[in-house]
Amino acid sequence: MDAIGRWFGRYTLWIYSALALLFLLIPIAYTIAFSFNDARRSNIVWRGFTLDNWATVCDAQGVCESFLASIGVGLAATVLATALGTMIAIALVRFRFKFRGAVTLLLFLPMATPEVVLGAGLAAEFLSAGVQKGALTVILAHTMFCISFVVVTVRARVASLDPALEEAGRDLYASPTQVFLRVTFPLLVPGIMAAALLSFALSFDDFIITNFNSGAFVTFPKYLYTAAARGIPAEANVIASAVFFIAIIFVIVSQLSAAARRKRLARQQG
């Protein structure tokens, strides 16, 4: 019994982690597998292996159109949220102004508020203002909730910067603009890029707020929700699988680049 207890004590965490990872990967594996399904009217039952879905991915009506719509909305919302959120983060860390604490609290509210409440509230505001729902309202809605995540991410990066670096630039008679462009901004780029990637992922993935404020405008998550009633088309699984593979490749390339950079710095220091 003692041997069994020691074995469970040693491997329980590993077993739990493996089961949790398996549970998370099952939907992804299902999506990838059914992207190769020889589907006809529905894509619920496995009917055989085929590569036609990957060769004719845009043949299914609305798949590519909704995917490109999500890409466009995500890029627009990311640019706006990243620009505004970065400026707000710098202001909150570097400057002291009235109602600074209240501004910080208000910025965190969208992160803590349920998306149903946010979506319904924004829809009511657009309706009261007489704004026609469509791509513009979706971009504004996504920008609104992405700003909070950008501020949190960039703010942590700004707070970690060594003020002595900027002081050194000023001591060398650099103007405030030169100090920002040549010292502060390059140091903030990793945080800004992380915030931008997070914003794009949140925007591309959002359904609830989009559904409240899109009107007839269809994004990829909205298309999948509508198509799920009759079985998501295999072409939609193809796009979802391709996005997953691209994300994996991006992560691998980033990790390899970071490892190579660390080795290069280690050789230089050695």
pLDDT tens per residue across span 32-67: 888 888 877 777 778 888 888 888 888 878 888 999
Q: How confident is the model at residue 5 (pLDDT cuts 50, 70, 90)?
A: low
In a domain? residue 130: yes
In a domain? residue 219: yes
Q: Give me the pLDDT at residue 85, please.
A: 94
Q: How far apart are CA 185 and CA 177, in angstroms?
A: 10
Q: At what angle do helices 135-160 and 63-94 cross, to 10 degrees?
A: 40
Average pLDDT, integer, range 146-153: 93
Q: At what angle do helices 135-160 and 185-205 cross, to 10 degrees?
A: 140
Q: Give me the pLDDT at residue 53, please.
A: 86
The rounded percent of the chain whose pLDDT value lies above 90 is 32
Q: What is the CATH number of the domain that holds 189?
A: 1.10.3720.10
In a domain? residue 5: no
In a domain? residue 131: yes
The pTM of the full predicted model, rounded to 2 decimals, is 0.83
Average pLDDT in the chain: 86
Residue with the larger pLDDT of the pair 57 and 5? 57
Q: How confident is the model at residue 230 (pLDDT cuts 50, 70, 90)?
A: low
Residue with tokens 């405008």: 217
Q: Give me the pLDDT at residue 1, please.
A: 55
In a domain? residue 148: yes
Range of the domain at 147: 61-232
Looking at the 3D structure of the chain, how many domains does it have? Answer: 1
In a domain? residue 228: yes
Burial class, 174, CB count within 10 angstroms (exposed 0-12 / middle 13-18 / buried 19+): middle
In a domain? residue 71: yes
pLDDT, tens only, 255-269 = 888 788 888 877 877
pLDDT(154) > 90: yes
Using alpha carbons only, what angle is made at residue 178 by residues 172 and 179, rounded to the nearest 5 degrees? Answer: 65
Q: How confident is the model at residue 218 (pLDDT cuts 50, 70, 90)?
A: very high
In a domain? residue 136: yes
